[in-house]
Amino acid sequence: MADLSLRPFRRQYLDRISGIESRIAGQPRRAFLEKRFAAAEGAPDDFLDCVALEGETPVGYAFARVQRGEFGEADAVAILDAIGIDPAARGKGAGKAVLAELERRMKERGIGTVRTLVDWRSAAMVRFFSSTGFLLAPVQVLERDCAPLREEVREVGSAGADARSPIPPGGDYYERLSRDRVPVRSMKEDDLAAAVRIDRKLTGRDRSAYYTAKLREMLKESGIRVSLAAEDDGFVVGFVMARVDFGEFGKVEKAAVLDTIGVHPGFAGTGIGHALLSQLFLNLATLQVETVLTQVSPENLGLQRFLYSCGFHPSQRLVLGKAIG
């Protein structure tokens, strides 16, 4: 421990840390590291990182993304999505050192909570986080693949929602899903006010800053954030935002994180949410994304029921959290 020094992540460490990643994951993840470094350079306030060195040689690292409103959170939360120690340097306290340094930097920024995802079958990781003060967080992780959304398609007639009639089961009705009768398009900068207005009706909070940041991220990181808007008679009545994962939490497959979805309360039950997710899954599959992850609080039963109806199921990953200071 005394021989370790702690520094911010620098480009000169890429090769060494990529080698550590390869030994831990069993395959190289340099693309993840390069994308993370580029994203942190472009938006330093949205990331935290720390590298442990023996002399000038990196032997451990930790990376976190700062979330400010995702999944309906009211406060900023640091998401620890990558941590690793060179197998040859384990047992020297490097893991706890980089985590402690990350927490110190969180305090400087006024961030009071850190969370991470861990596969419940990874006993070593669960033990490590438990030993550093992490506890189970009151959050459930759901996931699904990016296969087309299967649903019992019901067309809305002139008499309104009660006039819906189901299409008989059997056959592939993917082309007749709700996204084909609800106009869904990519979000634009002009949609910001509508998204804030819908979110305010759903949450009772003004989260303009959050949506401004998400829209800026969408415009700057083209191909990374997938955001859609649904219209009725030319007005935005729903939206969904997802981020294509860099490879966080040790994943080697392409994955996406669904962090925001909203439908105007006046259009609840009309298929807007299904239309948005149907188009989202299609877009993600085109990007060769394999999995979609999201988080939901246990008390949000309405959102849980909706996501289950869209093919989501409980993930094998646990959300662990820790209050800082």
d(Cα 205, Cα 215) in Å, to the nearest integer? 18
Do residues 15 and 51 touch, judged by C-beta distance below 8 A? Answer: no
For residue 173, the model assigns a pLDDT of 41
Do residues 72 and 117 touch, judged by C-beta distance below 8 A? Answer: no
- Whole-Å CA distances, 250 to 64, 118, 184, 315: 13, 9, 33, 15
What global pTM score does this model have? 0.76
For residue 178, the model assigns a pLDDT of 56
| Domains (range + CATH), the chain | 4-111 (3.40.630.30), 147-289 (3.40.630.30)
For residue 73, the model assigns a pLDDT of 64
d(Cα 83, Cα 155) in Å, to the nearest integer? 49
User: Mean pLDDT in runs of 10 for the chain (325 residues)?
Assistant: 79 87 74 79 84 90 81 76 86 89 92 91 92 92 89 42 38 49 88 92 86 73 75 93 70 77 92 93 90 89 92 92 88
Place of tokens 């299409």: 167
Write out the E strands in the chain: 4-7, 47-54, 57-67, 77-85, 113-119, 135-136, 140-145, 184-186, 225-232, 235-244, 255-263, 291-296, 313-314, 317-323
- CB-neighbour burial class of residue 277 (10 A; exposed 0-12, middle 13-18, buried 19+): buried
Facing residues of 242 across strands?
226, 258
